[in-house]
Amino acid sequence: MNWITDEYKEITVIVEDKYGSKYVYIDPEEDKDWFNCKYRLVLNKDDLTVDRAEIDEKSFDNKVIMGGLYGVDKSIFKMWTRKAKLIIDNYETTFSNPEYD
């Protein structure tokens, strides 16, 4: 996925184990609670492939797809349709833009 921009920006990424699955919540804004995140992924507990994906509380269906998908929405859709495997590292990650260091 190409989410690189020229400006510095923090995002929200939350990973939780619950209900026998791994949930990943992502939002383009910082400090969001899990229930307010724009993107929600549910990963299969055994192989960490994407079992379910939601954008703005909408699961993928014909209405969402027919409306057209672009950017991150399109990338998340591809992850879901291809049953992509996500690798979750267990460490705190900080990304920085050298122009702002």
Q: Are 44 and 53 in contact (CB under 8 A)?
A: no
The predicted structure's pLDDT at residue 1: 47
Closest CA to 39 of 29, 66, 49: 29
pLDDT over 80 at 61, yes or no: no
Report the alpha-carbon distance of residue 67 to residue 11 in Å, rounded. Answer: 26
Average pLDDT for 86-100: 62
The model's pLDDT over 4-37, given as tens digits with 9 standing for 90+, comes to 555 667 888 899 998 888 999 999 999 899 999 9
Domain range annotation of the chain: 12-86
pTM: 0.68
Average pLDDT for 66-92: 75
Q: Count the Cβ atoms, other than its own, within 10 Å of residue 87.
A: 5
Give Rg (Cα) of the chain. Answer: 14
